Structure 1
Amino acid sequence: MTALIIDTDPGVDDAFAIALACSSPEVDLLGVTTVFGNVGLAMTTRNALRVLALYGREDVPVAAGADRPLVYPHPHRARHVHGDDGLSDRSNLLPERRTGVAGTDAVSLMASLLEQAAEPVTIVPIGPLTNIALLLAAHPAVRTKIARIVIMGGALDGGNVTATAEFNIWSDPEAARRVLVEEEVPTVLVPMDLTHRCAVDAEWLDKLAASGPRGRLLVELTSTYREHYSRALGRDGTVIHDAVAMTEAVHPGLLTPTSLPLEVECGHGPSRGMVIADRRGTAARERSGSDGGREVAVATDADLDAVRAFLLARLGS
């Protein structure tokens, strides 16, 4: 079993990622924490509870976390992509969960779950990294209880919220730098470059909708999101970024990692939130007098058809 904690800002693709974790028998879902991001914290928390309710997971504790970045105000949400409620304005289609939020905050819940865990835990942050940065800063002893952190975020070759930055990293670059550059916890970054290549088409979505009530509901949540990505892709389809990252967490091996030193731009110019990967190679870095710093496993390739087939099989079950 893979013990998981999900840190999330649902968000349509977050909903697919939570659904994937709930649909994977090898996953022991210990907890879900929420953060600001695609919409405000109250709505991301409500959405997380409702997606868990769809899968009958009353047992999974949920705690709300940061409602703002570590340092600077968050410029804007992503309502134009995810809808005003984060789920294409269709969150009311999901059932209410009888069990509400835990009587603690996100960082405290994660620390407690890690301290109690018998084996190291995988943390899957699929929103801004504020909660994770706070956890590692406030509870350094839990590092040894983390198997790895699997992050959806960043873009090596051009962003989506700016020309250089991907939304999750751009939302709190200071937190992202803490997690990706300053820490020593084993980390996998699944960037937008790869998740875009794993885009699903109308036929895939139709198959998921036909798979059963849960699959149909997931597809219904994509209406606003699908319109946005159909324009971006130039064809009917969508990109379920966070579910691709969750694939790495629950089924390692479908994505191909490359170890790279990273930097996160925290200035206030047009490159704020940019993830910079040093792809020169070890010899070139040594010749320049740079040790490159800590290396992160960046998912740079995948068997795209295998990823799509895996997602359809699990989400349609």
Structure 2
Amino acid sequence: MGTKLIIDTDPGVDDAFAIALAAVSTDVELLGVTTVFGNVPLATTTANARRLLQLCDRTDVPVAAGASRPLVYQAARRASGVHGSDGLSGQAGSLPEATRPLEERDAVSLLVSLLEAADEPVTIAPIGPLTNIAALLAAHPGVRSKIARIVLMGGGVARGNSTAVSEFNIWADPEAARRVLAEDDVPCVMVPLDLTHQCAVDGAWLAKVAASGSLGRTLEAFTSEYRAHYRQVLGYDGIVMHDAVAVAEAIHPGLLRTESFPVTVDTSAGPARGMTLVDRRAVPVEAAGRPVDVAVDTDVDKLRDFVLSRLAGGR
């Protein structure tokens, strides 16, 4: 069947592209989707995830709601200024209503049951704050052997977006991120801002998505407020589809080139809170954290074509 995959998400415009990418890929066995607070509050991220799966005709995929706040300290703000108040540039109402009921069990319970039932290790793609994944690893250590790898979108090597040095998903719950990235032993791929910005797409690419069919038209319609933000960031009409880059790697291992570096997360209350500290020294001396595969490069045209062809219904 291909890659067994679970997505943990906070939709979010780029999350919508990522969910659709996995949902329509016939070489992916999408076992479940779990939701977390992040770009917008939990109730909204959960509704968006369910309705996005309905859009993709994936009523077979269970959705469970997870953490509504960080493990320790409440975040100071959300990303609604980037994604719009409903997470989808004000266009969430265009999505069909979900017919599959929300799971009564919480996200961690669903994750445990899916992992325990799997007959081979499962890839988890967390593309929001890492609260649910940290809780899973802390409370259910026995499932580690059922996780093939964690491919997460988050962090930055030399840049931030929520602060000068901190990327949003990590900044939203640094304690959870530290647990997953620096203090556990499950194989982990970190897809940072540095790489996702290299994979930005322009208005012409988005026009091709819109022209590809009804799914593409709906996804492109979600980008209006997101594009307004990224016009300022990029200096041209386009977007950074952060989460779709990570899910592309989860689907197609090796699409991104990675290098192993010790990584830890700053959990102090100071200005570096949420910073991912990637130790790139040739010979680290008392390096903090543990080795993480950090995505550093890709064939950008191939990556863009991969996402576009899948969203357009190709393989």
Bin for the TM-score computed over the shorter chain: over 0.9
2:68: which partner in 1? 67
Q: Is the 8 A contact 2:264 2:289 kept in 1?
A: no
1:96-137 per-residue CA deviation (whole Å, 9 max, x = no partner) reads: 110121110000000010001111000000000000000000
**Identity of matched residues, %:** 63
1:71 counterpart letter in structure 2 = V
- Offset of 1:246 from its aligned partner? 0.4
Structure-1 residue corresponding to 2:249? 248
Paired position in structure 2 for 1:278: 279
Report if the CA contact (8 A) 2:183-2:289 is conserved.
no
The whole-number CA distance in structure 2 between the counterparts of 1:25 and 1:307 is 18
Q: Does 1:307 align with 2:303?
A: yes
Paired position in structure 1 for 2:231: 230
Residue of structure 1 equivalent to 2:36: 35
Asked if the contact 2:39–2:80 (Cα under 8 Å) also holds between the matched residues in 1, the reply is yes
**1:48-67, aligned counterparts within 5 Å?**
48-67=49-68
CA contact (8 A) 2:262 2:287 kept: no
Following superposition, the deviation at residue 292 of structure 1 comes to: 5.2
* DSSP 3-state at the match of 2:161: coil
Tell me the residue number matched to 2:160. 159
Name the CA distance, whole Å, in 2 between partners of 1:130 and 1:240.
22
Aligned counterparts of 1:80 and 1:315: Cα–Cα separation in 2: 26
Q: How does 1:1-317 map to 2 (within 5 A)?
A: 1-281=2-282, 284-285=283-284, 288=285, 290=286, 293-317=289-313
Q: What code does the residue aligned with 2:9 have?
A: T
CA distance in 1, matches of 2:287, 2:242: 31
How far apart in 2 are the matches of 1:291 and 1:264?
12
Deviations 1:20-66 (A, max 9, x none): 00121110000000000000000000000010000111111100000
CA distance in 1, matches of 2:247, 2:158: 22
CA displacement 1:261-293 (0-9 Å, x = unmatched): 001000011100000011002xx22xx3x2555
Q: C-alpha deviations, 1:132-184, integer Å up to 9, x for none? A: 00000000000000000000000111100100000000000000000000000
Find the aligned partners of 1:292 and 1:231 in 2 and give their Cα distance: 35
Aligned residues: 312
State the one-letter code of the partner of 1:73: Q
Matched AA of 2:259: T
TM (norm. structure 1) is 0.97
Q: Using a 3 Å threshold, how does the CA distance of structure 1 residues 50 and 173 change in structure 2: closer, same or farther?
A: same
Matched AA of 2:58: R
Distance, in Å, in 2 between the alignment partners of 1:151 and 1:297 is: 11
Partners in 2 of 1:271 and 1:293 — Cα distance?
Answer: 16
For normalisation by structure 2, the TM-score amounts to 0.98
Superposed displacement of residue 195, structure 1: 0.3
Give 5+ residue unaligned stretches, structure 1. Answer: none
Q: Give the whole-Å Cα distance in 1 for the aligned partners of 2:255 and 2:137.
A: 28
How well do the aligned residues superpose, as a CA RMSD in angstroms? 0.8
Cα distance in 1 for residues equivalent to 2:134 and 2:151: 14
For residue 74 of structure 1, report the CA deviation from its aligned partner.
Answer: 1.1
In 2, the alpha carbon distance for the partners of 1:182 and 1:245 equals: 21
Q: Secondary structure at the match of 1:48?
A: helix
Partner of 1:136: helix, strand, or coil? helix
Q: Give the distance between the partners of 2:148 and 2:291, measured in 1 at CA.
A: 16
